[in-house]
């Protein structure tokens, strides 16, 4: 019965996500406050940040700090590549894939080595940092925007970890439901990319 309810919820969310494009480039981005707010209003970023934190909690041990730290570091590197003018092909598609993949990792509570888990999270982060830096306009304080963006990202990771640790008794069910939502929304992004 619960699986059926999750399927209905996922189908409804996928209908909502089809017209959404992760990063439209619409609107001026100016500084710190824009950086703080964007991860909260960009559903792709919100889902992946929470998923990384939740997966870190599911993995436990050093993953609690390793996965969020790797994400933050690689996201900064991705933004740096963008600001340097390096072209990353199909970056929006990579972001959509990161939503799908992070959802599947949480849904299935995927087990793998810490090295591989960290590498996957870093690839997700590189794409997110790259596309978010593409949104910066000429008048933007890139350093302030990045600081705000990294702060909110760290808070979202922490929230995912906290929810995972507090819901330890129901973590498998929580992970399955949240992971499925991420995967469906990511498929919607990919379909629109």
Q: Could you state, in chain order, the average pLDDT of each consecutive group of 10 residues for the chain (193 residues)?
A: 48 42 52 89 92 95 97 96 91 93 92 96 96 84 90 95 85 85 91 76
Backbone angles phi, psi at 139, to 5 degrees: -85, 5
Which residue, among 146, 132, 167, 176, has the nearest Cα to 27 in the 3D structure? 132
Cβ contacts of 58 within 8 Å, gap of 6 or more: 106, 109, 164, 171, 175
Can you give the pLDDT at residue 123? Answer: 96
Q: Where are the domains of the chain?
A: 29-192
The DSSP output letter for 139 is T
Backbone angles phi, psi at 88, to 5 degrees: -110, 115
Q: How far is CA 183 from the centre of its chain?
A: 12
Can you give the pLDDT at residue 28? Answer: 59
Angstrom distance (rounded) from CA 118 to CA 148: 23
The per-residue DSSP string of 157-171 comes to: HHHHHHHHHHTGGGH
- The model carries a pTM of 0.80
Can you give the pLDDT at residue 193? Answer: 62
CB 38 within 8 A of CB 132: yes
């Amino acid at each position: 019965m619960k699986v059926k309810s999750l399927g209905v919820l996922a189908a409804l969310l996928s209908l909502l996500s089809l017209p959404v494009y992760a990063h439209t480039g619409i609107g001026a981005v100016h500084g710190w406050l824009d950086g703080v707010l964007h991860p909260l209003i960009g559903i792709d970023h919100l889902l992946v940040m929470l998923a990384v934190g939740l997966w870190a909690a599911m993995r436990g041990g050093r993953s609690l700090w390793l996965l969020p730290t790797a994400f933050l570091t690689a996201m900064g590197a991705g933004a740096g590549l963008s600001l340097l003018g390096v072209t990353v092909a199909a970056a929006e598609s990579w972001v959509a894939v990161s939503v799908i993949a992070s959802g599947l990792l949480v849904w299935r509570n995927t087990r793998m080595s810490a090295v591989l888990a960290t590498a996957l999270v870093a690839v997700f982060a590189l794409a997110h940092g790259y596309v978010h830096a593409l949104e910066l306009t000429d008048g933007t304080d890139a350093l302030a925007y990045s600081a705000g963006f990294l702060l909110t990202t760290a808070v979202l990771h922490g929230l995912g970890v906290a929810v995972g640790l507090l819901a330890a008794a129901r973590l498998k069910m929580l992970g399955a439901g949240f992971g499925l939502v991420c995967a469906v929304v990511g498929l919607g992004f990919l379909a629109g990319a």
